Amino acid sequence: MGKYKSILFFSTILFFAFISWFVFSSDFSPVLKIDCYYLTFDDALTEQCIIVDTVTDKTNIWQIGRPKKNTLNSPLSAPNVIITDTINAYPAGDTSCFYIKYVIGSWGIFSGFGGYYWVNTDTISDFSRIEISADSGTTWIDLLNDTLIPQYVTWYAEKPVLTGNSYGWKYFEVGLYGLLYYSNLYEGDTVYFRFTFFSDSIQNNKDGIMFDNFYITSIVEGIDEKEYSYLPSKAIPSVSGEFINITIDSKESNETAFELYVFEQRGRKIYESDNIVHTTLINIQNFSPGIYYYELVNYNEKKFASGKFIVN
């Protein structure tokens, strides 16, 4: 299974490396561009983006290397991972963290962060936290537990459970466009992710947690987001699985007509409609399995909503 995931991951890297933009036929000639960071812990990009502070925190247990523990012993993509010590069990009473520094490139209808984790800890009392900062670390938002931001983040895969035992590699992916938009972040600004591991005062000789194959991705459609008002939205499949219900979660959408564009994973526009007010149903029976991105735009009032859905 790990070998298959590695092949799939690197195939995705090659795919995005060759496809940077597409031009579609429409009155507004939308352009879709993909901007991605891939952090495999095996190349120079890792050194540029990953920060493990062992100067001010000399007991920091996060290490980049080959895992050699009893349970955490297999990288997703060889040879390296980032892990709570490559060899030893994590100590009691520990608080250690590492950071990902991401300089925003061109970004638009979807901005997401994802990767893989494998956890082996004492349940609940020993755990990890994922946070994001839009102001160079002055304030941090807990992506897993913050109660004020659910409308601005979307978990496209199961929300990660960073405690207990995952019994192998687990995938996570979160959409962050709304959060970044409301944080007034644009091209050239810097976002920090912080991963913190906590353990209580009881030594249990367990392995801890490791991560591999992080990615940060942005997909851009040809509107200037700085001039547009972003509206939160959601895409919910019908019980039968034959339709996707896309709804704009805003009172502003009740009297505003939007144009809808749907793009498949490679950037090709495969569906469009107009005069969408508040909500619409898309028949997906003829859609191939995969990931799809949508955007609702009102060009006159400069409003838009965006997101993603999966067809199984």
For residue 21, pLDDT beyond 70: no
Q: What is the mean pLDDT of the chain?
A: 83
DSSP SS3 for 152: helix
Q: Which residues, in sequence order, are bridge partners of residue 194?
A: 99, 131
pLDDT the model gives residue 226 = 57
Flag whether pLDDT at 307 surpasses 80.
yes
Domains of the chain: 2-220 (2.60.120.260), 228-311 (2.60.40.3080)
Q: Express each pLDDT in 248-280 by its tens digit.
A: 987 766 678 999 988 876 667 789 999 998 899
> Who contacts 300 (Cβ-Cβ below 8 Å, separation ≥6)?
none
Phi and psi dihedrals of 179, rounded to 5? -65, -45
Q: What is the pLDDT of residue 253?
A: 63
End-to-end CA distance of the chain: 20
The predicted model gives 42-52 an average pLDDT of 90
CA-to-CA dists, residue 97 to 3, 50, 82, 102, 195, angstroms? 28, 11, 11, 16, 5
- The pLDDT score that the predictor gives to residue 269 is 79
CA pair distance 302, 312, nearest whole angstrom:
33
What are the residues facing 281 on neighbouring strands?
Answer: 245
The DSSP line for 77-146 is SSS-EEEE-SSSPPPTT-EEEEEEEEE--S--SEEEEEEEEEEE--TTTSEEEEEEESSTTSS-EETTT-
Cross-strand bridge partners of residue 292: 264, 309
Residue entry with tokens 């000639």: 29
> Over 60: is that where the pLDDT of 108 sits?
no
Q: 199: exposed, middle or buried (C-beta count within 10 Å: 0-12, 13-18, 19+)?
A: buried
